[in-house]
Amino acid sequence: MNISKISQILGISYDTLRYYEKIGLIKNINRDKSGNRDYSEQDLNWIRFLLRLKKIKMPIEKIKIYADLRYIGDTTVKERRIMLEEQKEKLISQIDEIRESIDYLNNKIEVYNNMEGKNNDK
């Protein structure tokens, strides 16, 4: 698949794909006879994973480390797993904070609803 097709499938710009290559998140992209990028299905899946890491707010520095470990190979599986577990724990913590905030807001809304109900009784 050419860069145009990958860009369209993923909804990202050519510049983003080139930037990912430049900083080492994407490596070893095959080229066609004309020298144009020729992305494989495996490349597509890897870029999807990179976008997911960004979406879950993994810092770019950590994504770079993760990418480097991936390109080293299977000897780095443990390190990559640990990185994902750490990111998962951060997400769980954020979910807990959001739940606490929602509970707080619900209580405050209930107080206001009760106050409005008392005012309407007059």
Per-residue model confidence (pLDDT) at position 119:
67
Domain architecture of the chain: domains with CATH: 3-120 (1.10.1660.10)
| C-alpha–C-alpha distance, residues 92 and 2, integer Å | 37
In tens digits, the chain (122 residues) has pLDDT values of 999 999 999 999 999 999 999 999 999 899 999 999 999 999 999 999 999 999 999 999 999 999 999 999 999 999 999 999 999 999 999 999 999 999 999 999 999 999 998 766 55
Per-residue model confidence (pLDDT) at position 117:
85
> What b/e readout covers 10-36, taking b as 16+ CB neighbours within 10 angstroms?
eebeeeebeebeeeebbeebeeeeeee
CA atoms within 13 A on the CB side of 90: 11
